[in-house]
C-alpha cells in the first residue's frame, strides 16, 4: 500500500484525478477500480508492487508494430481494472475483485528494482505495463518506468485510454509508447451497456494529450459482431483519429473471439474485418493492420511505392527491410521508432 498520486479533497470526500471516471470517494470507500481507497482523508493505492503476471513477449503482441519492431518486452500486470468489459479475455485477473468480491489484494510483492533487474536479466530493453489496465497500478508503473529509463529501458502502456490529461503529463517523461485500445469503435452506447463506462470523451482527451507529450501511439479497435455492423461508429472513429492524430498513426483492427460473458457471441467474420480495413484505408489511414488473424494483414508496406517493409506472421517479425526508418526502394520516411 502506498499513498496515491493525483487526487484532491472535496468537502469530506476525495476526488481521484487518475482516470476519466474521477471518482468521488467517501472515507473508507473504494474507487470503481477497487484498488484505490480513502483512508482517514488520504487516498491510497492498495496494490502497489503487487503483481499477478510477469512475462517476456514480442513487442508486436502489444500490439506495437512501429515501435522497436522485432524486440522483446518484459510485461507486467496487477489485478483489477477501471472498466468492466463483458468480453474481456483477461477477466480472471482484470475482473477478479468484482467477480469474487475479494477484499484482500492479490499478487506477489515486487519492487521497481526487482522488475527492472528481471527485465535486464531476460535481455529485454522494454517494459510493458499490460494485460490489465496500467492506470490501476499507476504509482508502481511510474516508479518502475522512471527507474527503467535510468537503466536505458523503454516503457510502454497497453491502455484503454481512460487516463486523465494530468496522469498523461505525469508519466510522459518516462512513457515512450502506448497502445490505446478501443472497443466497438468507440460507440458511446456500447461503452455504457457492455463496458460500464458513461462517457468516451476522456479517451480522446487522453490521446490528444499523449500526442502533445510526444508519446508514440498505436490504436487498436476490437470488432464485435452485433455492434456497429453498419460501420458508422468506426468511420467516425477513423476520422477523429486522422483529424486529431494524423494519417500515419497505425491502426490495428482486432478479431473478437468468444470470452467471459460474451461466450455465446461468434468470432468476428473475416469479411467484417476486411470491410473495416477497407474503410480505414479509404479514409486515408496509411498503416492499417488486421489482428488475431495470423498471416493476413500483418505486414507493413510503404505508403508511397507499396514496397514490403516489415514481414510478420502471428505477431512475430520475420523480416525487416527498412533502411533505418526509410523505405529501401523510394526513400520515404516511415513513422517507426527503431
Q: What is the mean pLDDT, run by run of 10 residues, along the chain of 338 residues?
A: 97 97 98 97 98 98 97 98 96 96 94 98 98 98 98 98 98 98 94 94 98 98 91 95 97 96 95 95 97 93 98 94 97 97
Asked if the structure places residue 128 within a domain, the reply is yes
Residue 20 pLDDT: 97
Q: How many CB atoms lie within 10 A of CB 232?
A: 11
Residue keyed to cell 497497453:
158
**Grid cell locating 59:** 513487442
Q: Based on the structure, what is the number of domains in the chain? A: 2
Residue 209 pLDDT: 98
Q: Are 178 and 157 in contact (CB under 8 A)?
A: yes
Q: Are residues 169 and 238 in the same domain?
A: yes
Q: What is the distance in angstroms between the CA of the first residue and the CA of the last residue of the chain?
A: 37
Q: Are residues 86 and 138 in the same domain?
A: yes
**CATH code for the domain of 180:** 3.20.20.70
What does the CA dihedral 29, 34, 39, 45 come to, rounded to 10 degrees? -160
Q: Are residues 149 and 254 in the same domain?
A: yes
Q: Are residues 98 and 6 in the same domain?
A: no
Q: Are 203 and 186 in contact (CB under 8 A)?
A: yes
Q: Are residues 194 and 230 in the same domain?
A: yes
Asked if the structure places residue 336 within a domain, the reply is no
Asked if the structure places residue 66 within a domain, the reply is yes
Q: Mutual orientation of helices 201-212 and 232-245 as an angle, nearest 10°? A: 30
Q: Are residues 156 and 247 in the same domain?
A: yes
Asked if the structure places residue 72 within a domain, the reply is yes
Residue 229 pLDDT: 85
Asked if the structure places residue 140 within a domain, the reply is yes
Q: Which of 211, 216, 213, 181 is nearest to 66 (CA)?
A: 216
pLDDT digits (tens, 9 = 90+) for 303-337: 999 999 999 999 899 999 999 999 999 999 999 99
Instruction: Measure the CA–CA gap between 254 and 315, rounded to whole angstroms.
Output: 12
Asked if the structure places residue 333 within a domain, the reply is no
3-state secondary structure of 299: coil
Distances (CA, A) of 332 to 68, 170, 251, 301, 310: 18, 34, 20, 11, 14
Residue 308 pLDDT: 98
Q: Are residues 91 and 224 in the same domain?
A: yes
Q: Are 290 and 271 in contact (CB under 8 A)?
A: no
Q: Which of 95, 76, 236 is nearest to 158 (CA)?
A: 76
**Grid cell locating 142:** 511510474
> Which residue, 263, 279, 298, sits at the end of a domain?
298
Give the helix/strand (H/E) hosting 183.
Answer: strand 177-183
Asked if the structure places residue 320 within a domain, the reply is no
Residue 103 pLDDT: 84
Q: Are strands 300-301 and 13-16 parallel, antiparallel or unpaired?
A: unpaired
Q: Are residues 240 and 294 in the same domain?
A: yes
Q: Are residues 141 and 19 in the same domain?
A: no
Q: Which domain holds residue 24?
A: 2-45
Q: Are residues 168 and 132 in the same domain?
A: yes
Q: Are residues 125 and 177 in the same domain?
A: yes
Q: Are residues 159 and 283 in the same domain?
A: yes
Amino acid at each position: 500500500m502506498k499513498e496515491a498520486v493525483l487526487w484532491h479533497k472535496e468537502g469530506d470526500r476525495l476526488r481521484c484525478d487518475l482516470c476519466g471516471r474521477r471518482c468521488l470517494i467517501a472515507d473508507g470507500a473504494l474507487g470503481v477500480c477497487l484498488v484505490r481507497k480513502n483512508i482517514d482523508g488520504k487516498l491510497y493505492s492498495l496494490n502497489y508492487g503487487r503483481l499477478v503476471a510477469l512475462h517476456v513477449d514480442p513487442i508486436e503482441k502489444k500490439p506495437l508494430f512501429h515501435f522497436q519492431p522485432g524486440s522483446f518486452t518484459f510485461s507486467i500486470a496487477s489485478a483489477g481494472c477501471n472498466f468492466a468489459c463483458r468480453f474481456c479475455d483477461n477477466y480472471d485477473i482484470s475482473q477478479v475483485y468484482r467477480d469474487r468480491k475479494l477484499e484482500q489484494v492479490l499478487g506477489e510483492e515486487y519492487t521497481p528494482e526487482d522488475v527492472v533487474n528481471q527485465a535486464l536479466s531476460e535481455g529485454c530493453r522494454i517494459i510493458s505495463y499490460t494485460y490489465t489496465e496500467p492506470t490501476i497500478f499507476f504509482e508502481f508503473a511510474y516508479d518502475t518506468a522512471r527507474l527503467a529509463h535510468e537503466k536505458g529501458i523503454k516503457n510502454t502502456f497497453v491502455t484503454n485510454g481512460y487516463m486523465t490529461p494530468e496522469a498523461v503529463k505525469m508519466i510522459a517523461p518516462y512513457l515512450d509508447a502506448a497502445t490505446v485500445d478501443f472497443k466497438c469503435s468507440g460507440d458511446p452506447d456500447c461503452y455504457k451497456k457492455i463496458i460500464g463506462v458513461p462517457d468516451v470523451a476522456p479517451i480522446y482527451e487522453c490521446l490528444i494529450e499523449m500526442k502533445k507529450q510526444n508519446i508514440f501511439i498505436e490504436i487498436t479497435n476490437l470488432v464485435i459482431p452485433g455492434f456497429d455492423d453498419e460501420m458508422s461508429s468506426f468511420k467516425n472513429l477513423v476520422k477523429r483519429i486522422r483529424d486529431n492524430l494524423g494519417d500515419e498513426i497505425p491502426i490495428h483492427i482486432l478479431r473478437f473471439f468468444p470470452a467471459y460473458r460474451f461466450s455465446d457471441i461468434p468470432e468476428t467474420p473475416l469479411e467484417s474485418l476486411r470491410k473495416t480495413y477497407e474503410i480505414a484505408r479509404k479514409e486515408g489511414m496509411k498503416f492499417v493492420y488486421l489482428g488475431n488473424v495470423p498471416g493476413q494483414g500483418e505486414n507493413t508496406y510503404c505508403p508511397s511505392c507499396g514496397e514490403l517493409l516489415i514481414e510478420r506472421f502471428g505477431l512475430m517479425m520475420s523480416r525487416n527491410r527498412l533502411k533505418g526508418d526509410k523505405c529501401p526502394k523510394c526513400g520515404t520516411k516511415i513513422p517507426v521508432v527503431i
